Amino acid sequence: MANFGGAYNTIAFDAAKCDGCGDCMTACATTKVGVGDTARSRIQIVGSADDGFELALCRQ
């Protein structure tokens, strides 16, 4: 996570580096709700049409 001078920590998503491992979703869920359940993460990473991955949703 990175803090870019604001009050909030953020996860910078770079589709070119994403392998779909889900670690960012686990980190988000752990930080926000206290458990590593990716279904409770505020971000979701999904497969894209070009066989990569994209950030589908950020509910922060």
**Model pLDDT for residues 2-55, shown as the tens digit of each residue:** 545 555 666 677 888 889 899 988 988 998 899 999 998 888 888 888 888 877
Q: What is the pLDDT of residue 60?
A: 53
DSSP assigned state of 7: S
Residue 59 has pLDDT above 60, yes or no: no
The rounded distance, in Å, linking the Cα atoms of 29 and 37 is 6
C-alpha torsion sign, points 53, 31, 42, 5: negative
pTM: 0.69
Q: Which residue has better confidence, 1 or 50?
A: 50
| Distance, first Cα to last Cα, the chain | 14
